[in-house]
Amino acid sequence: MRTRLTEGFGIQHPILCAPMALVTGGRLAAAVSSAGGLGIVGGGYAGILGGEHDIQRELAHVRGHKFGIGFITWALARAPQVLDEVLSHSPFCVFLSFGDPRPFAEKVRRSGSKLICQVQSLRHVDQALEGGATAIVAQGTEAGGHGAKRSTLPFVPEVADYLSKESPSTLLLAAGGIADGRGLAAALMLGADGVVVGSRFWASEEALTPPAATDRALCYSGDDTVRTKAIDALRGVPWPDEFSFRILRNKLTEQWGHRESEAAEAFGSLAATYAEARSRQDFEVAAIVVGECVGLIHDRPSAGSIIKAMVTQARSLLERGATLDFERR
């Protein structure tokens, strides 16, 4: 499947693995790249909160592979030295989301890495373009983890139209709810050059995801996800107000998910309890971070088999669509 993304990035398939904190370690990133996509190690909160995986250790697993590194931008701003540390490993790209990428853009470009910016609004698109992003990821609210208000289906083509006028050479990727070949084919039809896949790789053999989390998630559907700001507040993580958190429902979300104002007033009150629950893998308290497409996920195969199945299905659908269009004429 040749697109502007595969040609510009020198990869076989137009699929990037999302840089999920505590999930996309070096093994998963390497597996995705080996299968013809591009794996992006999750740098998460740049180490400012603790309890994250060792970035340097994970980067050791991708040595010899094409790879990227991704950060939560507002957190990276609090620990900018981390960017210098990872750039010394010569990542193919740096993926920034949830904050203004412009303060880091020149350093990334000067290093020789490509800048990828994930956006959730047209205002974010403008910031990414001003920063000289090679690629923009239009993220819909269906995604697991953090996001904003726009939905993938209308947001991606709107960004595609915007880029066609303002910056035609900038690549566009779609993210949010894409878990199989149907999602890949749809994204390409909407005007994207490729996709960023999170939840499907979250449930892959090479992911750092605890088996207890995926075992539990496989019993749920998209109806069982919730989007709330309350959990971040209770665990004491200072997310900007425009972003909320999509996770699977549990006892904590049932108690607090609809009480965002009260949770904000109780900021950090459950930080110790939450950290302990995560260490014990008590998922009635600790979040299982997965998107609405959890209802499409039924197993935990290898990353390579996920990519193969996704590309095979997408190619079949696109070819069949072309045939149907011809027959209508």
DSSP string, 84-99: HHHHTT--SEEEEESS
- CATH code of the domain occupying 14-206: 3.20.20.70
**Tens of pLDDT, residues 32-52:** 999 999 999 999 998 887 656
Q: pLDDT-derived band of residue 328, with 50, 70 and 90 as boundaries?
A: very low
pTM of the full structure: 0.95
* Cβ contacts of 297 within 8 Å, gap of 6 or more: 179, 199, 200, 203, 217, 218, 290
Sheet holding 145-147, edge to edge: 145-147, 244-248, 225-228
**Tens of pLDDT, residues 107-156:** 999 999 999 999 999 999 999 999 999 999 999 999 999 999 999 999 99
Spatial contact of 254 and 262, defined as CB atoms under 8 Å apart: no
Backbone angles phi, psi at 100, to 5 degrees: -75, 115
How far is residue 312's CA from residue 127's CA, in Å, rounded to a whole number?
A: 35
- The pLDDT of residue 76: 96
Query: 239: which DSSP letter?
Result: -
Alpha helices in the chain (DSSP H): 4-9, 26-34, 55-60, 73-76, 81-87, 102-111, 122-130, 152-166, 181-189, 199-202, 211-217, 230-235, 251-256, 260-265, 271-280, 303-328
How far is residue 16's CA from residue 20's CA, in Å, rounded to a whole number?
A: 12
Point out the least confidently predicted range of 18-27, 47-56, 207-216, 220-229: 47-56
Q: Where in the chain is the domain with CATH 3.20.20.70?
A: 14-206
Q: pLDDT-derived band of residue 325, with 50, 70 and 90 as boundaries?
A: low
